């Protein structure tokens, strides 16, 4: 390499006087191949792992897509469409079955001429949930009143009916499907939040007996499976009431779910109460606020804000768990699917799995949406607390 | 803190109020008055057993047991449609009756001594003489229940079926593997998908369930009947009048068949000279008033749902998909056990 | 409750005295609770009397009259209801124990995989977790039960894996070892092997603490626990006495008979519980690992540890502190969720006791109370054990 003498001592052979030509970018740092190398084949074990996982995916995904979409039957009036021997081709998911029974899956046996009431209820519910969940919505205080006070009463009137205003009564025995799944979850959340807060406050109370009662309640309910609580509500509630008083078959699991959810909600709220700095309590007391004003105006607003993700997560759990009312014979979405799939009109090999796929889709969309929402709120809260 | 307690108390109050809000109250003493006041009969029915009690997609019920409910409604109101059905699982049925949730339980329930004496219910007779049997796949080549040694058997838990099954295999010194499910749907589905070699329940149920198999013709019902299963309507103990009504509705249905009174000819039969027919239809005497109903109670029943034979044929007999033979349920005069107590 | 009273309090009226008020509230609460319980109890007694349902726990002694498919202890229709209870309880414990072990294993694998530098592994793990966590367990169990059943052949066309292992829609059949009565030598050698393995690992740990030298504890333990009994067995076999024989499943007219049978209900339940719980455990593990500061990994790398040992020796031990409390509640959840067995016909405690026994006896209160008490006890015991473990693992702060 030629050396130009620009400075004194430039004739020193080991001093490079000119910047060397830039090298071409290494092909293995940027670009898709490099990405592959870095992320999939960084070492031999890693490469083996990659191929193993790829093999697994190849085993799972193509047949699933084939089943759900390519071989699927979209139209048909009965099982003939979904049986290979009758349709004369490989048959995957029998969506025709879901299309045929979608009314049953949505409303159960709710009378056809009254189903608009359920539709209206779905709309009211959507408004309520949207209002509560959209953090920047206008007048969220009104929203809360709507959701926790007006909506439940309106729902009751709308769904059970009220002869005086021209709504034919519909016995709960006819309710079913998504309607019941939503009713059970909503009742769970609407009741569990206030009761959960009370239980959490009670658990942190300085009065030993109040605390004891709350601790025992919370821990007993959390220590047993939901099924046992539901079976208890179903078979024992009638025994504990005076002779001749009977509780509606749908109300029993509702009571069970509300009790169950309250105990879990109490623990979530307690976490929030503990996270509120002691200074806030002391500050409130020094202002001369009594217990309830302190809780209502100072502590709970902060505590509940912190636990919004926890509340949503509890709700997701509750939403999934409502499928257990199936066990005590309430016609929720799962039970309607079970009932429909054994109907001989649709007796075909793939009908069961199609029904399950439909249920999976419904639950996944709801739960995944809620969990994304909870993550978003969490991020927002974290940003707000950064100082 | 006072408010905690106050709130708690209010909360509990609300909860209790909520519980009673959806609650109907029924006194054990005067079911008839209660039913009349409600304006409809609340009938405990099966959650879905083809031929006996099954709701269609619109929630309309039909079936043999369902028609019995309608017969009671017809006797009380003169209108067989004034009845509502509560679908009950096997394990819920007795509590539902005890608690007053239903007025009458007509849900293929076996009459047994312990149920009659210890569970607070009273059976009003037998509307269907049944017996437990087995269904197997044809291709197994089994022709008798005695050949089932070593088989897997699906059954519904909490029923007499489960106990009879254990007794039968013990008595015949055979082994088996039991798979028990909470509902008849789950039980049959497990059998249909190959989990079990045999499926056992009351013979009537076997015929009904077979219709739901993916391929009904692949299954046969074995000839053995391993138990006596007299199925009958039940009411709460302690209300003699109501028990009488349900009992005599059953006898009236059978008597109507014996006397040839049908839904179609009931109006002409009113003019019949046969004194038995006259007494049945209330042209002579006023037997219905003795049980708190009207004179023409039996005529109302037959007009509403037909006689026993008609109900049978329509729902489970040759006129239905089940095609069950009358067998034990033929009239006593034709070699069966159905015997209407005389109305006089 | 305010606690301002440090200087001599001014004479306040009794109504405003926090202490008095506290006592009054508590008395009211207790009164309300007692009244509720009393009302419920009297109603229950009246109702039971009216319905002529027996009460008390005497029924546990009477003959059950029904059979149960899977029993870990001898049981027949002539056994008592109490025995049926035990059968159900053991079945619950069995599925819970196996589920916990498998779910922990799978959960750790998936949790670590989510943080893998391998893109596709991390993605697949994420999809797995998101998919499974957002579907009801009930749906998954039904799916597995139907999927497992549908996929398997009927008994006459069993899949034969050789050496007496068969698979069909009645379950998995394996040869059952039958231990001869004179095999005490074998048992003794097994016991000696276990003791020796423990002793060796204690010794190895001391040695490592003193000198830093590592010993192959794993291989040694394997040798002691498996090798020693194997050796004894071979010796015995050479001497002509066969301590263990195997009962092979035999094809009969309907099922395979004999051997060890694993029921499809059990398989479906274990599979469902494992896959479901593992997704939650994976999230816990991931959070635990992320909670370990990055500096720890870097320091380990600087010391020359490779990624495997870094994870095993540095990261996971620290992450365990964060992981254990939520892991405990997942174990409890799995145990409680095993009660879903009722929908697929696995005879667990709820299915046998709250299902069949409750229906046959009509004694709802007793059955429900016993079942709930059992789950409560399991919860409390597990929580105590895990808390104790947690205390020992917790960071000792100076």
SS (H, E, C) chain B: CHHHHHHHHHHHHHHHHHHHHCCEECCCCCHHHHHHHHCCEEEEEECCECCCEEECCCCCEECHHHHHHHHHHHHHHCCCCCEEEEEECCCCHHHHHHCCCCCEECCCCECCHHHHHHCCEEECCCCEEECEEEEEEHHHCCCCHHHCCCEEEEEECCCHHHHHHHHHHHHCCCCEEEEEECCHHHHHHHHHCCCCCEEEEEHHHHHHHHCCCCCHHHEEECCCCCCCEEECCEEECCCHHHHHHHHHHHHHHHHHHHCCCCCCCHHHHCCCCCHHHHHHHCCCCCHHHHHCCCCCHHHHHHHHHCCHHHHHHHHCCCCCCCCCCCHHHCEHHHCCCECCCCCC
Q: With CA atoms as reference, report the closest residue to B243 among B129, B120, B106, B123.
A: B123
**Residue A316: how many CA atoms within 13 Å on its side-chain side?**
23
A240 touches chain B (CB under 8 A): no
Is C116 in a helix, a strand, or coil? Answer: coil
**pLDDT (average), residues B192-203:** 89
Report whether pLDDT(B7) > 50.
no
B57 closest CB neighbour out of A104, A248, A344: A104
Which of A119-123, B40-44, B269-273, C176-180 shows the lowest mean pLDDT across its residues?
A: C176-180
Q: CA distances (Å), A176 to each of A104, A179, C294, in order?
A: 7, 6, 52
* Highest-pLDDT range among A238-247, C26-35, C311-320: C26-35
Which chains are within 8 Å of B by 3+ CB pairs? Answer: A, C
Report whether pLDDT(B235) > 90.
yes
Report whether pLDDT(C122) > 70.
yes
Q: Percent of chain C scored above 70 by pLDDT?
A: 92
pLDDT of residue C11: 60
* Chain A residue with Cα closest to C336: A225
pLDDT of residue A176: 86
Please give the Cα distance from C94 to C363 (Å, whole number). 26
pLDDT of residue A27: 62
Q: With CA atoms as reference, report the closest residue to C124 among C114, C134, C109.
A: C114
Asked if C372 and A227 come within 8 Å (Cβ–Cβ), the reply is: no
pLDDT of residue B12: 42
A228 closest CB neighbour out of C143, C147, C375: C375
Q: Which B residues 283-302 touch C at CB under 8 Å? A: none
Nearest-5° Cα angle at A130, A127 to A136 = 130
pLDDT of residue C41: 87
Report whether pLDDT(B214) > 80.
no
Task: Give the tokens for residue A281.
Answer: 């309590």
* Chain A residue with Cα closest to C113: A49
Task: Give the tokens for residue A25.
Answer: 């970018």
Predicted TM-score of the model (pTM): 0.83
Extract the runs of DSSP E, i.e. beta strands, from C285-378: none
**pLDDT (average), residues B262-266:** 92
A109 closest CB neighbour out of B28, B55, B183: B55
Partners of A367 on chain C (C-beta within 8 Å) are 133-135
Partners of B159 on chain C (C-beta within 8 Å) are 359
Sketch the domain layout of chain B as residue ranges. Answer: 31-129+231-334, 132-227
- If one counts every other C-beta atom within 10 angstroms of the C-beta of residue C333, the result is 18
Asked if A360 and C124 come within 8 Å (Cβ–Cβ), the reply is: no
**pLDDT (average), residues B108-120:** 84
Asked if C359 and B165 come within 8 Å (Cβ–Cβ), the reply is: no
Q: Which B residues 107-136 touch C at CB under 8 Å? A: 117-120
Partners of C342 on chain A (C-beta within 8 Å) are 227, 327
Distance of CA C243 to the CA centre of its chain: 32
pLDDT of residue A8: 57
pLDDT of residue B26: 40
Asked if B18 and A251 come within 8 Å (Cβ–Cβ), the reply is: yes
pLDDT of residue A26: 67
Q: What is the CATH number of domain B31-129+231-334?
A: 3.40.190.10
| Structure confidence by residue, pLDDT tens digits, B238-249 | 888 999 999 999
pLDDT of residue C229: 80
Pairwise pLDDT comparison (B106 vs A149), residue with the higher score: B106
pLDDT of residue B260: 93
Report whether pLDDT(C15) > 80.
no
| Structure confidence by residue, pLDDT tens digits, C189-244 | 888 888 988 898 888 888 888 887 777 777 888 888 888 888 887 887 777 776 67
Nearest-5° Cα angle at A341, A336 to A342 = 105
Q: With CA atoms as reference, report the closest residue to A107 among A32, A167, A182.
A: A182
Local confidence band at B20 (pLDDT 50, 70, 90 cut-offs):
very low
- In a mutational test of the C interface, the residue from B8, B14, B88, B91 whose CB has the highest number of chain C CBs within 10 Å is B91
pLDDT of residue C206: 87
Backbone angles phi, psi at B87, to 5 degrees: -70, 125
Overall residue count recorded for chain B in this entry: 344
Q: Do domains B31-129+231-334 and B132-227 have the same CATH topology?
A: yes
| Structure confidence by residue, pLDDT tens digits, A338-383 | 888 777 677 777 888 889 999 999 999 999 998 998 888 888 877 7
CATH fold, domain A187-330, is MetI-like fold (1.10.3720)
Report whether pLDDT(B300) > 90.
yes
Q: Percent of chain B scored above 70 by pLDDT?
A: 91
C134 closest CB neighbour out of A42, A207, A368: A368
pLDDT of residue B24: 38
Please give the Cα distance from A233 to C175 (Å, whole number). 45
Backbone angles phi, psi at C200, to 5 degrees: -65, -40
Report whether pLDDT(C154) > 70.
yes
Which chains are within 8 Å of C by 3+ CB pairs? Answer: A, B
Report whether pLDDT(C335) > 80.
yes
Report whether pLDDT(B95) > 70.
yes
Local confidence band at B14 (pLDDT 50, 70, 90 cut-offs):
very low
pLDDT of residue B9: 43
State how beta strands B176-181 and B234-236 pair: unpaired
pLDDT of residue B17: 41
| Structure confidence by residue, pLDDT tens digits, C352-392 | 998 888 888 878 888 999 999 999 999 888 888 877 887 77
**Second CATH level (architecture) for the domain B132-227:** 3-Layer(aba) Sandwich (3.40)
Local confidence band at C19 (pLDDT 50, 70, 90 cut-offs):
confident
| Structure confidence by residue, pLDDT tens digits, A137-160 | 788 788 888 888 888 888 888 888
| Structure confidence by residue, pLDDT tens digits, C140-153 | 999 998 877 777 88
Could you state, in chain order, the average pLDDT of each consecutive group of 10 residues for chain A (387 residues)? 53 77 72 77 83 90 88 82 78 87 87 87 90 80 84 88 82 86 90 92 89 92 92 84 77 92 92 88 89 88 84 90 87 86 75 89 93 86 63
Is A78 in a helix, a strand, or coil? Answer: coil
Asked if C149 and B194 come within 8 Å (Cβ–Cβ), the reply is: yes
Asked if C26 and A56 come within 8 Å (Cβ–Cβ), the reply is: no
Report whether pLDDT(B270) > 70.
yes
Report whether pLDDT(B19) > 50.
no
Please give the Cα distance from C50 to C53 (Å, whole number). 8
pLDDT of residue C26: 87
């Amino acid at each position: 390499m030629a050396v130009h003498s620009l400075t004194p001592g430039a004739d020193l052979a080991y001093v490079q006087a000119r910047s060397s030509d830039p090298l071409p970018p290494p092909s293995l740092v940027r670009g898709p191949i490099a990405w592959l190398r870095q992320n999939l084949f960084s070492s031999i074990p890693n490469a083996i792992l990659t191929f193993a996982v790829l093999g697994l995916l190849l085993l799972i995904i193509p047949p699933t897509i084939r089943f759900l979409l390519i071989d699927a039957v979209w139209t048909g009036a009965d099982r003939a469409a979904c049986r290979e021997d009758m349709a004369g081709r490989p048959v995957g998911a029998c969506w025709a079955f879901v299309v045929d029974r979608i009314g049953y899956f949505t409303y159960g046996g709710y009378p056809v001429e009254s189903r608009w009431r359920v539709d209206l209820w779905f709309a009211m519910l959507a408004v309520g949930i949207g209002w509560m969940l959209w953090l920047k919505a206008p007048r969220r205080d009104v929203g809360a009143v709507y959701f926790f006070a007006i909506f439940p009463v309106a729902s009751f009137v709308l769904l059970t009916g009220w002869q005086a205003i021209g709504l034919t009564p519909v016995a709960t025995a006819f309710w079913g499907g998504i309607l019941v799944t939503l009713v059970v979850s909503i009742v769970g959340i609407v009741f569990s939040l206030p009761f959960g807060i009370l239980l959490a406050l009670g658990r942190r109370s300085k009065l030993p007996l109040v605390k004891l009662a709350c601790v025992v309640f919370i821990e007993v309910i959390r220590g047993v499976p939901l099924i046992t609580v539901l079976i208890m509500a179903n078979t024992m509630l009638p025994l504990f009431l005076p002779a001749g008083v009977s509780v509606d078959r749908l109300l029993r699991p509702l009571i069970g779910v509300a009790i169950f959810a309250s105990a879990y909600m109490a623990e979530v709220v307690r976490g929030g109460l503990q996270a509120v700095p002691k200074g806030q309590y002391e500050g409130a007391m020094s202002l001369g606020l009594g217990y309830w004003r302190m809780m209502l105006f100072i502590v709970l607003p902060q505590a509940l804000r912190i636990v919004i993700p926890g509340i949503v997560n509890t709700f997701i759990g509750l939403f999934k768990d409502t499928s257990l009312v199936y066990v005590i014979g309430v016609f929720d979405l799962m039970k309607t699917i079970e009932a429909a799939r054994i109907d001989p009109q649709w007796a075909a090999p793939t009908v069961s799995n199609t029904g399950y796929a439909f249920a999976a889709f419904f639950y996944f969309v709801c739960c995944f949406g809620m969990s994304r929402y909870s993550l978003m709120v969490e991020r927002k809260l974290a940003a707000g607390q950064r100082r | 803190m006072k408010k905690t307690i106050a709130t708690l108390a209010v909360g509990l109050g609300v909860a209790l109020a909520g519980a009673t809000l959806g609650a109907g109250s029924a006194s054990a003493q005067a079911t008839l008055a209660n039913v009349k006041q409600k304006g409809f009969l609340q009938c405990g029915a099966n959650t879905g057993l083809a031929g006996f009690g099954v709701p269609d997609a619109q929630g309309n019920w039909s079936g043999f047991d369902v028609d019995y409910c309608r017969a009671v409604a017809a006797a009380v109101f003169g209108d067989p449609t004034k009845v509502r059905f509560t679908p009950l699982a096997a394990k819920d049925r007795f509590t539902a009756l005890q608690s007053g949730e239903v007025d009458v339980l007509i849900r293929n329930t076996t009459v047994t001594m312990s149920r009659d004496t210890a569970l607070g219910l009273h059976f009003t007779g037998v509307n269907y003489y049944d017996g437990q049997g087995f269904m197997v796949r044809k291709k197994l080549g089994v022709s008798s229940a005695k050949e089932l040694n070593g088989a897997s058997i699906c059954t519904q838990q909490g029923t007499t079926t489960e106990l009879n099954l254990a007794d039968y295999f013990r008595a015949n010194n055979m082994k088996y593997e039991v798979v028990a499910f909470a509902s008849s749907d789950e039980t049959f589905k497990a059998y249909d998908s190959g989990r079990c070699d045999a499926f056992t329940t009351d013979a009537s149920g076997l015929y009904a369930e077979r219709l739901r198999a993916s391929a009904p013709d692949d299954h046969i019902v074995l000839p053995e009947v391993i138990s006596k299963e007299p199925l009958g309507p039940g009411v709460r103990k302690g209300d003699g009048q109501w028990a009488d009504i349900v009992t005599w509705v059953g006898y009236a249905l059978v008597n109507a068949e014996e006397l040839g009174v049908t839904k179609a000819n009931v109006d002409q039969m009113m003019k019949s000279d046969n004194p038995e027919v006259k007494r049945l239809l209330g042209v002579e005497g006023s037997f219905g008033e003795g049980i708190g109903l009207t004179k023409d109670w039996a005529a109302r029943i037959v007009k509403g749902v037909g006689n026993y034979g008609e109900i049978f044929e329509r729902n489970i007999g040759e006129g239905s998909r089940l095609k069950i033979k009358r067998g034990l349920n033929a009239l006593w005069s034709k070699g069966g056990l159905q015997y209407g107590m005389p109305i006089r | 409750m305010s606690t301002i009273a440090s200087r001599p309090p001014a004479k306040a009226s009794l109504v405003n005295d926090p202490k008095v008020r506290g006592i009054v509230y508590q008395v009211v609460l207790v009164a309300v609770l007692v009244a509720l319980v009393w009302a419920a109890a009297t109603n229950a007694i009246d109702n039971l009397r009216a319905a002529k349902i027996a009460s008390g726990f005497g029924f546990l002694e009477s003959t059950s009259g029904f059979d149960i498919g899977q029993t870990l202890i001898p049981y027949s229709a002539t056994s008592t209801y109490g025995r049926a209870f035990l059968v159900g309880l053991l079945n619950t414990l069995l599925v819970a124990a196996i589920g916990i072990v498998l779910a922990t294993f799978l959960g750790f694998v998936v949790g670590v995989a989510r943080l893998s530098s391998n893109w596709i592994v991390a993605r697949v793990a994420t999809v797995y977790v998101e998919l499974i966590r957002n579907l009801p367990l009930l749906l998954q169990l039904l799916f597995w039960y139907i999927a497992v059943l549908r996929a398997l052949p009927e008994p006459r066309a069993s899949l034969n894996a050789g050496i007496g292992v068969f698979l069909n829609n009645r379950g998995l059949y394996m040869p059952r070892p039958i231990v001869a009565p004179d095999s005490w030598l074998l048992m003794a050698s097994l016991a000696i092997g276990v003791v020796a393995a423990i002793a060796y690992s204690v010794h190895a740990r001391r040695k490592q603490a003193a000198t830093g030298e590592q010993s192959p504890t794993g291989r040694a333990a394997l040798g002691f626990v498996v090798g020693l009994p194997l050796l004894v067995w071979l010796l015995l076999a050479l001497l002509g006495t066969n301590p263990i024989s195997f009962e092979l499943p035999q094809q009969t007219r309907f099922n395979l008979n004999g051997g060890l049978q694993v029921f499809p209900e059990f398989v479906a339940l274990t599979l469902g519980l494992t896959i479901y719980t593992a997704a939650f455990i994976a999230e816990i593990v991931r959070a635990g690992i992320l909670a370990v500061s990055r500096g720890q990994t870097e320091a380990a790398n600087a010391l020359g540890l490779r990624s495997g040992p870094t994870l095993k020796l540095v990261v996971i031990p620290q992450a365990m502190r964060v992981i254990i409390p939520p892991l405990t509640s997942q174990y409890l959840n799995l145990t409680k969720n095993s009660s879903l067995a009722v929908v697929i016909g696995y005879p667990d405690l709820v299915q046998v006791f709250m299902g069949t026994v409750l229906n046959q006896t009509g004694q709802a209160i007793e059955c429900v109370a016993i079942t709930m008490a059992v789950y409560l006890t399991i919860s409390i015991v597990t929580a105590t054990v895990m808390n104790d473990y947690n205390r020992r693992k917790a960071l000792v702060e100076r």
